């Protein structure tokens, strides 16, 4: 063909080629975006114009908008997945895409609020120790509502919960904060409970032991009250006895103790573990007690204990007592800490009992001394009165004998008898004075008057005292003294008494 028909043919062929190219490009872009998920593709149709160019631009605009929107959503979702809760979806969109953008931004805001609230509660509870705080996340639902409820449950004392999810970034930081808060709160609560338990029981024993004065009562009271507190089923209490040559620990009180053949009730220092604990002044703990070592028994049966603890009780570095406890369970660290603190309390209590007993003994001794002093005073007064009453009748006898002795016409034998009466009356007066000397002797105030004494005269005077009895019995008593005089340095009155 030629002419206009040729031009028409060329135009039709060009139009067909452009339509094929347009269809091919639109199909490719649709396949990449809609099927293969490849964003950013553009339709390229060369030589198009007019409506076909507008159609091509519309397809490319649609693909570009969809790419920007999807990539914006992907960016925010990726940031949230990595814990970055500050990203927001800022795209121009309408319809369902706009609703999706709003939903994404609302989700991000909810997550940020959740993170902030949880972090605040975790800091208050886990670090600052402020209880009762609550996480408030408006609009939270589903998993986020469950997480919020978990946090609030922890603040209310439920420490059995924890968050076990894989997370990164700020979400991981929030998760770690929550779990750290739970751990800190659990540890703090446990420590507080242990301290409250220790203080309560120590105060209980302190009140219970106040005013006790008898060591046996103190020992029994300690064991009977202590055993259930530390879950002990067997106990003995030994007290230090220093009355012998060597100090010994003797059995004072027991709890659920059964006499066994060969069992000892007294231990020297270093003798058995009881004596060794006293010697070393340190606590001894036995675990996995061998079979047959000791048995905890009841009416239904018996069993060996699992744990034994031996505690020396010291005061000012000296062992005052030793306590031994056994249990079918293991003594916990809290129990052992309580026993250590209780031994300090018992040290002061045993000292108080010992001091009180000493005060009672001193008071008893003082009363005895006062009674003895009153008795001695009464005795002294009686002896003084008795000596006065005895001396009164001797005075006229002595005066009469002295007057008769001065008579000139008396026979010699009568004069000698009067002289003997005179000497014996004076001796009797001295004996009366000796009654008062008993008081002086008791007070250590006897005085000796030393002078030169003729032994011949002293013996002759002693013979004269019993001469009348000798004559009445028709006996003879002869003194065989040396011719020369024997002089002594002595108290004649005291020597005459002997």
DSSP 369-401: HHHHHHHHHHHHHHHHHHHHHHHHHHHHHHHHH
Percent of the chain beyond pLDDT 90?
A: 0
How many whole angstroms separate alpha carbon 426 and alpha carbon 418?
12
Residue 119: how many other CB atoms lie within 10 Å? 17
pLDDT score of 233: 86
Beta bridge partners of 234: 326
Give the tokens for residue 403. Answer: 């007057």
Does the pLDDT of residue 14 top 70, yes or no?
no
Does the pLDDT of residue 135 top 80, yes or no?
no
Beta bridge partners of 319: 314
How many whole angstroms separate alpha carbon 389 and alpha carbon 366?
34
Beta bridge partners of 256: none
| pLDDT single digits (tens) 427-448 | 777 777 766 666 666 655 666 7
SS3 state at 214 = coil
pTM of the model: 0.44
| pLDDT single digits (tens) 258-291 | 776 667 888 898 888 889 998 998 888 888 777 7
Please state the rounded mean pLDDT for residues 280-304: 79
Q: How many CA atoms lie within 13 A of 477 on its CB side?
A: 14
pLDDT score of 441: 61
Residues 6+ apart with CB under 8 A from 249: 238, 239, 240, 241, 266, 267, 268, 269, 274, 275, 278, 321, 322
pLDDT band at residue 139 using 50, 70 and 90 as cut-offs: low
| Token pair 């002869």 in the structure block, residue | 478
pLDDT score of 427: 72
| pLDDT single digits (tens) 457-484 | 777 777 766 777 777 787 777 777 665 6
**What are the residue ranges of helices labelled H in 31-94?**
50-81
State the chain's maximal CA–CA distance in angstroms. Answer: 223
Task: Look over the chain and give the mean of its residue pLDDT values, rounded to a whole number.
Answer: 72
Exposed/middle/buried for residue 349 (C-beta within 10 Å: 0-12, 13-18, 19+): buried
Domains of the chain: residue spans and CATH: 4-81 (no CATH), 95-197 (no CATH), 210-331 (3.30.450.40), 379-497 (no CATH)
How many whole angstroms separate alpha carbon 332 and alpha carbon 1?
112
| pLDDT single digits (tens) 310-344 | 988 887 778 888 889 988 888 888 888 888 887 77
Cβ(106)–Cβ(139) below 8 Å: yes
Cβ(75)–Cβ(98) below 8 Å: no
| pLDDT single digits (tens) 231-248 | 888 898 898 888 878 889
Phi, psi of 198 (to 5 degrees): -60, -50
| pLDDT single digits (tens) 48-70 | 666 666 676 676 666 667 666 66
SS3 state at 296 = strand
| pLDDT single digits (tens) 65-92 | 766 666 676 676 666 666 666 666 666 6
How many whole angstroms separate alpha carbon 107 and alpha carbon 143?
12
DSSP 100-140: HHHHHHHHHHHHHHHHHHHHHHHIIIIIS---S-----TT-
């Amino acid at each position: 063909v030629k002419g206009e028909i040729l031009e028409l043919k060329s135009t039709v062929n060009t139009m067909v080629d452009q339509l094929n190219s347009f269809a091919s490009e639109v199909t490719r872009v649709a396949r990449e975006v809609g099927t293969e998920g490849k964003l950013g593709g553009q339709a390229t149709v060369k030589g198009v114009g007019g409506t076909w160019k507008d159609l091509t631009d519309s397809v490319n605009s649609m693909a570009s908008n969809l790419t920007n929107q999807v990539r914006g959503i992907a960016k925010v979702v990726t940031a949230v997945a990595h814990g970055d809760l500050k990203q927001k979806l800022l795209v121009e969109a309408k319809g369902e895409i706009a609703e999706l953008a709003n939903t994404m931004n609302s989700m991000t805001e909810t997550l940020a609020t959740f993170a902030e609230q949880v972090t605040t509660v975790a800091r208050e509870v886990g670090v600052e120790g402020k209880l009762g705080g609550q996480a408030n996340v408006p609009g939270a639902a589903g998993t986020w509502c469950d997480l919020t409820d978990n946090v609030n449950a922890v603040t209310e004392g439920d420490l059995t919960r924890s968050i076990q999810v894989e997370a990164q970034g700020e979400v991981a930081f929030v998760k770690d904060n929550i779990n750290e808060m739970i751990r800190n709160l659990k540890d703090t609560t446990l420590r507080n409970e242990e301290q409250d338990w220790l203080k309560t029981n120590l105060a209980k024993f302190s009140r219970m032991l106040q005013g006790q004065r008898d060591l046996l009562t103190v020992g029994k009271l300690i064991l009977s009250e202590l055993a259930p507190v530390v879950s002990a089923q067997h106990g003995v209490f030994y007290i230090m006895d220093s009355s012998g040559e060597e100090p010994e620990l003797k059995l004072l009180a027991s709890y659920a103790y059964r006499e066994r053949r060969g069992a000892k009730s007294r231990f020297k220092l270093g003798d058995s573990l009881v004596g060794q604990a006293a010697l070393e002044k340190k606590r001894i703990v036995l675990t996995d007690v061998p079979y047959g070592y000791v048995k905890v028994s009841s009416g239904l049966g018996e069993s060996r204990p699992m744990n034994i603890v031996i505690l020396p009780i010291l005061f000012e570095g000296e062992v005052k007592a030793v306590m031994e406890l056994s249990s079918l369970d293991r003594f916990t660290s809290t129990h052992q800490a309580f026993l250590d603190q209780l031994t300090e309390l018992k040290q002061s209590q045993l000292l108080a009992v010992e001091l009180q007993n000493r005060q009672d003994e001193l008071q008893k001794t003082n009363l005895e001394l006062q009674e003895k002093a009153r008795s001695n005073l009464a005795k002294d007064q009686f002896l003084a009165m008795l000596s006065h009453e005895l001396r009164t009748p001797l005075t006229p006898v002595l005066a009469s004998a002295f007057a008769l002795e001065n008579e000139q016409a008396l026979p010699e034998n009568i004069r000698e008898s009067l002289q003997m009466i005179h000497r014996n009356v004076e001796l009797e007066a001295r004996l009366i004075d000796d009654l008062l000397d008993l008081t002086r002797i008791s007070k250590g105030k006897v005085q000796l008057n030393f002078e030169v004494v003729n032994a011949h005269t002293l013996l002759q005077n002693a013979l004269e005292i019993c001469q009348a009895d000798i004559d009445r019995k028709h006996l003879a008593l002869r003194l065989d003294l040396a011719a020369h005089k024997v002089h002594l340095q002595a108290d004649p009155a005291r020597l005459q008494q002997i």
